[in-house]
Amino acid sequence: MAVLRIVPDIACDDPAKAHAFYGDILGMDTLMDMGWIRTFGGAEPVKPQISLMTQGGNDTPVPSLSIEVDNLDSLLQRCTAAGHQPVYGPVTEDWGVRRFFVRDPFGTLINVLQHNPPD
């Protein structure tokens, strides 16, 4: 037996807001849309992961999602332009990631991070 995929499920009362945040701002593709469920994802397959935390690092709250991106500063600009202000960061942490926390339109706390950001 092998775990093939882990999909976080977020309660959503407005699919248009979900698409604006996850599709337009984060640039994720709509993989499935059945009206009552819309699944967003990236083009590359990834290994299943799940993180269990006592805190979010540096005494921050535990985020519901961690999303790794290839250009944190660009995504930060897109978030703030759309009215989604960071609630933590951006900051380069002592373990080597640059990140910020932002809430999606439904209040979900998201850790947006970039490994090995350029200097």
What is the structure's pLDDT at 119? 61
What is the structure's pLDDT at 48? 77
pLDDT, tens only, 66-82? 999 999 999 999 999 99
pLDDT, tens only, 48-70? 788 989 999 999 999 999 999 99
pLDDT, tens only, 19-32? 999 999 999 999 99
Structure pTM? 0.89
Structural domains present in the chain: 15-115 (3.10.180.10)
Give CA separation, 94 vs 32, 51, 58, 98, 99, in Å.
Answer: 38, 19, 9, 9, 11
pLDDT, tens only, 86-101? 999 999 999 999 999 9
pLDDT over threshold 80, residue 108? yes
What is the structure's pLDDT at 80? 98
Residue 65: count of CB within 10 angstroms of its CB? 13
AA identity, residue 60: T
Q: In which residue are the tokens 């599709």 written?
A: 23
Main-chain dihedrals φ then ψ at residue 17, nearest 5 degrees: -65, -40
